[in-house]
Structure 1
Amino acid sequence: MADIKRILENLRNSDLEIREEGLKQIREFDKKLSHRDIQILLEASIEEFPDLRWDFNNSKHEIIQLLTKYISDEHIPLVVDAFPNYDGLTKSQALQLLGQLESQKAARTLLQLLDLSASELEFKFGSGYLVHGQPHHADIFFPDLLNYLDIEPLVGHILGLCLKCFENGLLDPGQLDSDSGKLIRLCESYREQVRHMEKDEDHKWIWEDEYLSIRGDFAILIDLFGYFNHPEVDRELAIAAEADDPKIRMFAIISRLRKGKKVDVSELTPIAAYSETRMWLYKMLLSLDKVALYPLEYFSQEAFAESEMVDWLSFGTELGKVPDEIELMKVFELDVGTTAGKILYYLYRFRTFPPHWAAKDGWMAGVSGPFIKSDEPSPDSYGETFSTFKAWQSLTPEEHLRDIQEILNRWRSRHNKLN
């Protein structure tokens, strides 16, 4: 395997194929690095490298990504020295480097650098939170991070970390009440944006880019309100509990329950009826010991399996929305010889309507599961919910299941090899 200096020489080379080899080498690098090696990488990370084959690949970003495996507190001064020379995306990556270190020094340095660069930051889709892993040093990060809620790329990172700190007991309910005005203003801003959006009864508006750009952060904010006691927060939760989006309604109701408010079962029925929110509603009610409120008409393995399938499909890298139609085609009951006993796979066909990009493909196949038969009904699936987006009529039901399982097995084998 090439050493760091050779990899950097390859990334600087005028020959595209050699640069692509350097990209492959840096992604596969797994040797130990000395303090000097890390210094060399950080010095190189401020360079302008020749382009790689694809625009979404960038040598300096790959260098920072490699450093996530090796960075420690002793390297913080090197990061600080390099930081002013970075572009917005690389600055974001450098802050994430610090965010993965669970030390007071790293947390304080992150805040100092954030204050110098907040308006410049950019985050790649799927790059993870500003602070990785288990939340830590809530006493350092909060309430200071709430001062950056007007910086759009940071909102999801701040809200997500704050919620994790409450959920893990690093912040006590009501502890940040004096700063609730900042969150209320953000919520009012989201409500005002939604108010001007065209809506339809079958929720298609939810999956338009205009609303999707704020939906995730809006939902986290409403979830977070369950840990605030300010009267204006209660007002916002009451408004959100009547929102047109079932996901926002769900988090509003869960937050009210967390705060000890009474909720009628009738408020939960439309949320359980909507396949995207169904299983999450049940799981959250279970976590609050309020599962008795869950509507019985949606308490079945088939209902949970459909919700699992739809939740997977609605992810941004898949369909990016709930399918317009979904039908259960077959249930496979298999005995795989484990102590868990028999398992269940649910095979669906689904389709979208124009103008969605997948509408031209008609009915496609997807598998939800596996679910342990002895646990049913349960929303807990065990990691093989998937779709290849193959045409339904191209294979038999049995072939669709086998095809998806083979692809997942190949992916796991490759993943294990790389790690």
Structure 2
Amino acid sequence: MKIVFIIIGIIVLLIVIFMIYRYFAFKRESAETNKLRFERIQPLYEKLESGNEISKEEVLKYAKDNKTREMTYQILSEHKKTELFPKEYLTIESGAESNLVNWLEFPTELDKVPDDIEHLKRVTIKFDGNDVFYHVFKYMTNEPHWAAENGWMLGVVGPYFDDSKPYDFPAATFSRCSSKVGEIEPENEAKWVHENIALKR
């Protein structure tokens, strides 16, 4: 009996050690991801901070890139310079794409920016007497990434409302990284995110 308790104690200790390791590894990976994101936008940020003139052409370079688009709008908004943001990217769909790309890059999700991403459709869901909207995208990664074998996967961003602005924060950005195009319809994936993510926050 004593040996059983010793074995159980060792197993519990190993689990605790693993959880502590994962916690610190997650913190380190998150810090590295945030540092990388800032470095992408740093030249624009430093120009804004120093009060230097910035052209619309300079901003366009960052707004075109879905990795930096969302952050570009945010820092322009903080500096009251949103008039420099290109109108062609001032849409909820453009903001949603950038938000999903940044979410997927997070270490606990896809752990990288997808190699390709495309908007599939806007899905409307009736909720509490109102309509809420989700944007559904398909994305994929190339080898040797572990998700390459899944092909095109689905990602959902929302909820948005009738009065939502393009770069409002969507509280339920999510991808199961296993829902494949052709196996589940965009409407069903948006409904799953609405019921299992949005309504549980």
Q: TM-score, normalised by structure 1?
A: 0.42
Quote the sequence identity (%).
28
Instruction: Tell me how far 1:402 sits from its aligned partner.
Output: 2.3
Question: Aligned pair in 2 of structure 1 residues 326, 217: CA closer, same or farther (>3 Å)?
Answer: closer
After superposition, give the CA deviation of every residue in 1:83-106 in whole Å (9 maximum; x if it has no partner). Answer: xxxxxx8xxxxxxxxxxxxxxxxx
Map 1:1-400 onto structure 2 (within 5 A). 13-16=5-8, 51-53=13-15, 56-57=18-19, 124-127=24-27, 216-217=34-35, 248-337=39-128, 342-376=131-165, 378-389=166-177, 390-400=179-189
TM-superposition CA deviations, 1:14-52 (whole Å, max 9, x none): 132x566xx5xxxxxxxxxxxxxxxxxxxxxxxxxxx42
Q: 1:361 to 1:14 in 2, by over 3 A?
A: same
Structure 1: distance between partners of 2:145 and 2:167? 28
Shift of 1:382: 3.3
**In the alignment, residue 320 of structure 1 is paired with which amino acid?**
D
Moved segments of 4+, more than 6 Å: none
Task: Tell me the distance in 2 between the aligned counterparts of 1:372 and 1:348.
Answer: 18
**Secondary structure of 2:41's match?**
helix
CA separation of 1:216 and 1:308: change in aligned 2, threshold 3 A: closer
Q: Which has the larger radius of gyration?
A: 1
Aligned length: 194
Residues 309 and 359 (structure 1 numbering): CA distance in 2 closer, same or farther, change over 3 Å?
same
CA pair 313-249 structure 1, distance change in 2 beyond 3 A: closer
Moved more, 283-292 or 320-329: 320-329
2:157, 2:170 within 8 Å by CA — same for their partners in 1? no
Distance 1:279 1:388 in 2: 22
So what's the TM-score if we normalise by structure 2?
A: 0.82
Aligned residue number for residue 196 of structure 2: 407
Q: What value does the CA root-mean-square deviation take over the aligned residues?
A: 2.8
Residues 1:54 and 1:387: Cα distance change in structure 2 (over 3 Å): same
Is the 8 Å Cα contact of residues 315 and 321 (structure 1) preserved in structure 2? yes
Deviation at 1:278, TM superposition (A): 0.6
- Greater RCO structure (CA 8 Å; 6+ sep): 2
Give the conservation status (yes or no) of the 8 Å contact 2:125–2:191.
no
| Higher helix content, 1 or 2 | 1
Name whichever of 342-351 and 400-409 sits farther off. 400-409
> What is the rounded CA distance, in whole Å, between the counterparts of 2:98 and 2:63 in structure 1?
9
For the residue of structure 1 that corresponds to 2:197, the secondary structure is helix
Question: Which residue is equivalent to 1:205?
Answer: none
| Residues 356-385 of structure 1, C-alpha deviations (whole Å, 9 max, x = no match) | 211111011110111222233x21133111
For residues 335 and 53 of structure 1, the distance between their equivalents in structure 2, rounded to whole angstroms, comes to 43
Alpha-carbon distance between aligned partners in 2 of 1:307 and 1:345, rounded to the nearest angstrom: 14
